[in-house]
Amino acid sequence: MERPNVVFIICDDLAWGDLACHGNPVPTQTPHLDAMHAASTRLTRYCSGPLCTPARAGILTGRWHLRTRAFDTYCGRATLDPGEPTIAQTLGSAGYASGCFGKWHLGDNFPSRPMDLGFDESVVHLAGGIGQPGDRYENHERETESYFDPVVVRHGVPEPSSGYCSDVFTDECLDFIDKHQQTPFFAYLAFNAPHSPFQIADEWADPYRQAGVNETHAKIYGMVSNIDHNVGRVLARLDELELKERTLVVFTSDHGPCGSAQNRDGSPGERQRWNAGLRDIKGSMYQGGVQVPSFWRWPGHVPAGRDVDDLAATVDVLPTLAQLCGAALPEVGVDGISLAPLLTGSGDESSQRTVFMQWHRGDAPVRYRNYAAITQRWKVTRPHEKATDELYDLQRDPHETADIAVAHPDVVEQLRTEYDNWFDDVGATRGGRTFDPPTVHLGTPHENPVLLTQNDWRTLDGHEGWRSDGLRGYWRVQVEQGTGPYTVRVRMRHGIGTGMVHLALDETEWQAPLPAGEHVVELCGLDLPPGTSRLEAWLHTDTPTPGARHGRFIPALYVEAEYTG
């Protein structure tokens, strides 16, 4: 079989019901995706998510995300272990050039950036979204909408961009395709839309406002229409370069929609987003949280206009692409299966398999907390560890309206046993240290300076979420070049009061005054002892600040460490 180029397009928070081809009663304008839907084989039982980082970890490694150490979206839990395989490395070994454009959310520091894990080119934003506390400080500190003209990171180097974020990342993807049209390529185009904040030009939102859609959803659907426009640009470029028949294009999303859940009958409430009657939202193990579009278009090889109802999951993407592209699977092994026979029509037997999913906040996974074990027919799920197992017959009840666990205790017990074995297995990866937090390396030639952001900040007080003036935390760092000199810049929020900035590496501490009107302090010539340490930075203010720890303690927003020896 001819080896295809691959363009893999993934959206953030795009729901099954956002597309016109899935029956949205809102007049959604997605003509390019509707046409792709008609020209594709569609995986109608594809399970993704249930949140951003877990979905991406499964897709890019072919392994259950709980193996990869990337199992949450912040607090140091969104970093892929560098020993995990990636699609870029797998296809690279078969002669493919690889490019990553948009949302990565699997580690912002060496050795877990796209450029460290097999991608030849990358233009991304940091953390989970543009303008989030873990993104570049230039975007976080802006007064204007950060989805326009954002600062992006090109292969490790920050640079300004011009235009709307989805357009910017599509431009980079198109340039990559142009450069590599004569050789096989893998382009990973990851939109950070339609994730909040809901920022989009009026030209995209106005048609929905005029149709009577509320303001929030007018912007969301406007962002979806812009995605559709950019997908159309990619497909048109493939046509122009006569690459259509030589390129596999995949379109999907990372999980279900944000926002409040639908009514149980599937009808949308005032603030709710139509999702074809699927139950619940992102983060949930119900189908509304995990069932997303999965379109596979490859003219002449993958049949058009066909639905495949076989159970599929994120971990199947890597082995499927490896088989289609003639690449060997990673030596470490994968958890997914190749869907190539199903996609090409050379195999039609339903696989007897169980797909496992789990996600929740916290420092490590907890057995039974918000998990699901799913087969072609059955689904056992438990919202939290103190609840009881629920059972749904997805073939008869795809909207999960009737819990039938009492009627089928044998099915519940069987799937719970399979889940227990799976949970033990993934937790034993890397000698049982699977859930240790990642370490940020300082003083390497691969990344210098190193920007430490809130996305990898570890809380000391047992709280979860972004840091605030009421929390205290640290970064876990590995100092590679010891005895200095290092220059460390501590960045506070704008408008903070005067006081003394403290920087602590375990028991060693440095101080410098923060003058009035400033928010950045630079400490030069520091000798940082080599090894693994806990780094913390904060401001002790001269003036009590509402919400600050004991009225005077305010944690730093960013720390930038540069080895200058």
Please name which of 73, 109, 80 lies closest in space to residue 464, comparing C-alpha atoms.
73
pLDDT tens across 78-128, in order? Answer: 999 999 999 999 999 999 999 999 999 999 999 999 999 999 999 999 999
What span, in angstroms and rounded, lies between the C-alpha atoms of 524 and 351? 60
Coil, helix or strand at residue 325: helix
DSSP letter string over 509-538? EEEEEE-TT--EEEEEEE-PPSEEEEEEEE
Average pLDDT over residues 329-345: 96
Q: What is the pLDDT of residue 270?
A: 43
pLDDT tens across 474-531, in order? Answer: 999 999 976 679 999 999 988 888 899 999 999 999 999 999 899 999 999 999 988 9
Instruction: Tell me whether the omega of the peptide bond preceding residue 114 falls within 30 degrees of 0, making it cis.
Output: no
Query: Using the 8-state DSSP alphabet, how is residue 217 labeled?
Result: H
Average pLDDT over residues 540-556: 69
What span, in angstroms and rounded, lies between the C-alpha atoms of 142 and 166? 19
Give me the count of residues in the chain.
565
DSSP letter string over 120-175? SEEEEESTTSTTSTTS-HHHHT-SS-TTBS-EEEETTEEEE--SBHHHHHHHHHHH
Q: CB of 371 within 8 A of CB of 382?
A: yes
Please name which of 206, 204, 257 lies closest in space to residue 228, comparing C-alpha atoms.
204
**β-sheet bridge partners, residue 101:** 123, 189
Q: CB of 101 within 8 A of CB of 122?
A: yes
Of 19-33, 129-143, 269-283, which range is least confident?
269-283
Q: What is the pLDDT of residue 551?
A: 54
Q: Supply the angle between the helices 31-38 and 215-240 in degrees, to the nearest 10.
A: 60
Q: Supply the angle between the helices 215-240 and 165-179 in degrees, to the nearest 10.
A: 10
Question: What type of residue is 317?
Answer: V
pLDDT tens across 139-159, in order? Answer: 988 878 899 999 999 999 999
Question: What type of residue is 485?
Answer: P
pLDDT tens across 199-242, in order? Answer: 999 999 999 999 999 999 999 999 999 999 999 999 999 999 99
Please give the share of the chain, as a percent, with pLDDT higher than 90: 80
The tokens for 527 are 């000798």
Q: Where are the domains of the chain?
A: 5-344, 355-427, 440-563
What span, in angstroms and rounded, lies between the C-alpha atoms of 203 and 195? 19
Q: How confident is the model at residue 470 (pLDDT cuts 50, 70, 90)?
A: low
pLDDT tens across 258-305, in order? Answer: 875 444 444 444 457 899 999 999 999 999 999 999 999 999 999 999
What span, in angstroms and rounded, lies between the C-alpha atoms of 17 and 277? 9
Average pLDDT over residues 53-57: 98
Q: What is the pLDDT of residue 464?
A: 64
Any idea which fold 5-344 has? Answer: Alkaline Phosphatase, subunit A (3.40.720)
pLDDT tens across 399-435, in order? Answer: 999 999 999 999 999 999 999 999 999 999 998 888 9
513-536: burial string, b at 16+ Cβ within 10 Å, e else = ebeeeebbbebeebebeeeebebb
Its pTM stands at 0.95
Mean pLDDT of the chain: 92
Query: Using the 8-state DSSP alphabet, how is residue 272 labeled?
Result: -
440-563 maps to which CATH number? Answer: 2.60.120.260
Q: CB of 353 within 8 A of CB of 337?
A: yes
Instruction: Tell me whether the omega of the peptide bond preceding residue 27 falls within 30 degrees of 0, making it cis.
Output: no
Q: What is the pLDDT of residue 261?
A: 40
Residue 244 has pLDDT above 70, yes or no: yes
What span, in angstroms and rounded, lies between the C-alpha atoms of 138 and 125? 11
What is the CB neighbour count within 10 angstroms for residue 260? 14
Does domain 355-427 fall into CATH 3.30.1120.10? yes
Q: What is the pLDDT of residue 465?
A: 60
